[in-house]
Amino acid sequence: MTDAGQRRLDYWIDRFVEHTEGFPTPLIYRRWGAIHTLAGLLERRVWTVTAGRELYPNLFVLLVGPPGVGKSDILREASKMWKSMRDLAGGRKLHVAPDNVTKAKLIKTLEAASTRLVLSDTQLLEYHSLQVVSSEFSVFLPEYDKTFMSVLTQLFDCLDDYSEGRISTGDTAIPNPQLHMIGGTTPGYMATTFPEAAWTMGFSSRLIMVYHGEAVEVDLFGEQKRSNSLWDDLVHDAKLFMNLYGKLEWTPEAIELITSWNKTGRLPVPSHPKLTTYNTRRIIQVIKLCIIASVSRSNELIIREDDVATAIAWLLEAEQFMPEIFKEMGGAQGGTGGLLLDLHHWAMSEYTKRGKPLREGLVIGFLAQRVQYTNQIVPLLQLAIRNGMFEVNDNLWTPKGGQ
């Protein structure tokens, strides 16, 4: 199954981004929509091995931004592509979850999402891969349910099996499960739904958040030049991806590049305190993205140096905007402690950029946008000083230490 056939497009992700040109959607959303769409097409059929562990290219991605920024448009296109994967060889199709699922419904849908591949006369592979696309993530996860989050975390890790007991039907075991998920949401939802402790847990450490804060202006009556033939070519090659199977090998140059980046600290490292747990899994995310970049380029199932560079660039692009999410979340999430951490992180960033202490008015302005009542500002500033976060001289604020 490694010989998937002749492709029509040179670099599938770039062509998908080209196809979505003219959408009222920022480029970063369109790019990650393309990355995620291709990753979903690969299910559990391709993988690579690092440190003795098999890694599959499934991802958890959230497109985060204010309402009206264009999240739904690109997510609909991802869903459209996935749902086009029907009537494949052997009657296979790509399994896409319904929009609104409870934990019980998700497990039931995953259990039904069975694919069987005949690898040889004596070898049969069964796996259960489910694609979740949710333009309103608040519908998929209306509240922070620790049990549900634990299930999502287990399914992300692509274990050999998932099992749970059911009162009505007894124990259920799902062989080779995999969950691949993309959603759209707002900073306000995250502020009111994710408690402070959530940022130290498994689900958030596996989550890539892609932020954009402004709507894209488009000509309401301009002629759309979207090519039907390009869409047909994308679907054609996507069906070829559905026939890929096997382990991706690494060229020596690719190994050298990713090893060097990993050993030298995976720079630049996101510094926001809520991303501390996320930082521990960045290398895993990059390896997954290397698989996706390789397949986007070729069916050869080899990760080359350029694929590693592309994967790192994709992740760094998303990471540079992640702190904006927490700024937008403001003081609604995390209480006083979370707000003080956000204040200190912001102040450190500004101090580094300016190279000098911050005027008191800037610090007050930051808090004024994040508290409900202005009389909360002075006590917060006093608490920040008592906690050793700042040194203050002549109304100039210098952040101390780092996070």
CA–CA gap between residue 31 and residue 9 (Å, rounded)? 16
Buried b (16+ CB within 10 A) or exposed e, 133-166: bbbbbbebbeebeeebbebbbebbbbeeebeeee
pLDDT of residue 340: 83
pLDDT of residue 170: 52
Q: Which of 242, 264, 287 is nearest to 49 (CA)?
A: 287
pLDDT of residue 304: 98
> Is-contact 163 117, C-beta < 8 A?
no
CA–CA gap between residue 231 and residue 221 (Å, rounded)? 22
Averaged pLDDT in 10-residue chunks for the chain of 403 residues: 75 96 94 97 96 94 92 94 83 84 85 90 91 89 88 92 64 89 91 86 95 82 72 95 95 97 94 91 97 97 97 96 84 63 85 90 84 79 89 91 55
pLDDT of residue 169: 47
- Give φ, ψ of 11 to 5 degrees: -140, 100
SS3 content of the chain, % helix, strand, coil (to 5): 50, 15, 35
Amino acid at 9: L
pLDDT of residue 140: 86
CA 19 to chain CA mean position, Å: 21
Record the pTM.
Answer: 0.82
